[in-house]
Amino acid sequence: MFMRLVQVKVKDGQTEGLQHHYRQRIIVALEGIPGCRYAGLMKSVHHPEECISLTLWDSEADAEAYERNGLFTTLLDETHPFLLESSESRLQLSKDLTLEYVPIPEEPVVSSYPVSTRSDVPAPQQERRGPMWVRIVSLKLRPGRLEEFEELYREQVIPTLRNVKGCRYIYLAKRSGKMDEVLSVTSWESKEDAENYEKSGLFARLLESQQGTLSELYRWKLEEQKLQGGLAATSEDPTVEHFDMLAGKAFK
């Protein structure tokens, strides 16, 4: 399986419009694309102007074929009225053939991640409803420790999360071309379920069990914290982001 993230910045007051457009146009278009298994639009909780389109594919080849056939470019162009404009402008001719400066929309950030480990079967007591909350943990690993981290994820993280109330889907994805960067993506029935998981201390304990595979800089920081107390964050700390799922659909 292959994960593709397209991050955009949305104009103030246009999130609802983008949400409607995503449901009515983008999901409908992607449902007919070979290899596309899921499409969802989510909004960052801490940065409300940022939205991400998350799609899941049978293979990287299917995702690349989608980009090559031109549909991705067409769909992206159609979202520009909802997107934040950058501070740059370009000079162009208007319909009445006069020169005018037109703001350039913020460029989307496209990231690709092969999914190496996953558990996408809901727990028995849960109904199959669309995920309402998404949690993404970004981690930097020590060189050569990816396989060890994947094994820990399969043997510890997935079994633990499968027994946590509200957790529905679990994915571990590695960034294409960067074997030392991974994403742990989980979806939840509600914000409260995800917050209760964090408050329980389970997340901290799982992270501690993975310390041997995490970056040297982060491990150095942890050792210094034991000796000196709190230290400022480093560029290689694990980061946790939360998202509201605005629209989504799984395809057969």
Same domain, 77 and 34: yes
Q: Which tokens in the block code for residue 246?
A: 């605005």
Domain at 228, CATH number: 3.30.70.100
8-39: pLDDT as tens digits: 999 999 999 999 999 999 999 999 999 999 99
Q: What is the pLDDT of residue 128?
A: 43
At residue 49, φ and ψ (nearest 5 deg) are -80, -10
Q: pLDDT (tens digit, 9 = 90+) per residue, 178-209?
A: 778 899 999 999 999 999 999 999 999 999 89
pLDDT score, position 175: 80
Whether residues 97 and 200 fall in one domain: no
Using the predicted structure, report yes or no on whether residue 126 has a pLDDT greater than 50: no
Are 65 and 119 members of one domain?
A: no
242 falls in which pLDDT band (50, 70, 90)?
A: very high
- Residue 89 and residue 124 in one domain: no
Phi-psi label, residue 17: left if phi above 0, alpha if psi -120 to 50, beta otherwise:
alpha
d(CA 219, CA 213): 9
Q: Report d(CA 131, CA 191) in Å as an integer.
A: 10
pLDDT exceeds cutoff 90 at 85: no
- Looking at the structure, do residues 127 and 221 belong to the same domain, yes or no? yes
Boundary (domain end) residue, out of 109, 139, 166: 109
Single residue among 45, 74, 109 that ends a domain in this structure: 109
Give the DSSP H/E element, type plus range, for residue 223.
helix 216-228
pTM for this predicted structure: 0.81
Identify whether residues 41 and 129 lie together within a single domain: no
CB 26 within 8 A of CB 32: no
Q: What distance lies between CA 31 and its chain's CA centroid?
A: 20
Pairing between strand 50-57 and 2-9?
antiparallel
Render pLDDT for 36-63 as a digit per residue (tens, 0 to 9). Answer: 999 999 999 989 899 999 999 999 999 9
